[in-house]
Chain A
């Protein structure tokens, strides 16, 4: 019994010391172990050019600007390297919690990949796939020769074909929904 009552204060002291040691250890790398970006956290002189961040964010709206900024600051501001890293599937380096991006708030049109976000931030499909100009066009009638799926030998052609099929699917859905609206309105005014 007496052993135990002696041990509790000791235990507390050990815990407190341990906690402080861990804190001290974790706090160090943030200030000293980032040789490429010594002052990224605060000093405006070493800040990553927001235009570069924006450039990457435009290409990959699913990436968070904070991640992009951290990765840019780590590789000396190379957009190509960040792009390459993302496309290779390795994913971007996660910034340490202490990293503050000092970025202006993201424009509402883009879709930051941060966790909770109101649904309003999702661009609709027309915006996402840049179809605004094609909505008003009459549907490209699937001419008599109904397009049979083809596998082109050319990579570029395959890419275009996939894009065309995506756009068609979205535009068809949109037209159908508009048609439904028209019918419903007609029915409403008739009754």
Chain B
């Protein structure tokens, strides 16, 4: 027992949790749901200012694979989200969460995709900027993408209403 050998993933996730606690990026709260299982996190992201998501807080779940950080985690928003790059079930589709080997859509640069030097903090900041600037090249939510492209006003209204509802206020 002199040299207890924790899995790399666990050591890394514990370190990231500590760093995110001591020096949290603006508008982000992140940590494991329970420290009994470091592979499941619940995070809160604040909606970026100057976007229809402004003022909102968006909870999401991150699941880490056992071979993290070799493989990326997955991220799923737990509340209502209307965004071209978020599936209707909440799953986030963003290049930083895609492993460099697999490029299902053939449009992402390898440098934008997951690599072990990326961190939870970097993912969350990327997702935040994704909220501000959707990428409509490969929409996860086709209807949201269509609305975003064709009727920006309606899109923003829908997002703002969702934000109000999520805070327990009348839309």
Are the CB atoms of B89 and A115 closer together than 8 Å? yes
Interface string of B17-37 (1 = CB under 8 A from A): 010011110000101001111
Identify which of A87, A128, A162 contacts B29 (C-beta below 8 A).
A162
* A interface residue numbers (CB < 8 A to B): 62, 87-89, 111, 115-116, 119, 122, 124-128, 135, 149-151, 155, 158-159, 161-162, 165-166, 169-170, 173-174, 176-178, 180-181
Are the CB atoms of A177 and B169 closer together than 8 Å? yes
Known pairs A124-B167, A124-B168, A177-B167; A87 contacts B57 (CB<8 A): no
Known pairs A125-B57, A149-B21, A158-B21; A89 contacts B39 (CB<8 A): yes
Are the CB atoms of A174 and B23 closer together than 8 Å? no
Bound complex: CA A177 to CA B34 (Å): 30
- Residues from chain B with a CB closer than 8 A to the CB of A162 are 21, 29, 31
Main secondary structure of the interface of B (DSSP, over half): mixed
Are the CB atoms of A119 and B169 closer together than 8 Å? no
Which of B59-67, B95-103, B119-127 participates in binding chain A?
B59-67
Closest to B64 in A: A89
Known pairs A88-B37, A89-B39, A124-B167; A149 contacts B57 (CB<8 A): no
> Is B134 part of the binding interface, using a Cβ–Cβ cutoff of 8 Å?
no
Known pairs A89-B40, A89-B66; A180 contacts B167 (CB<8 A): no
- Residues from chain B with a CB closer than 8 A to the CB of A170 are 44, 57, 167
Known pairs A158-B35, A174-B167; A62 contacts B78 (CB<8 A): yes
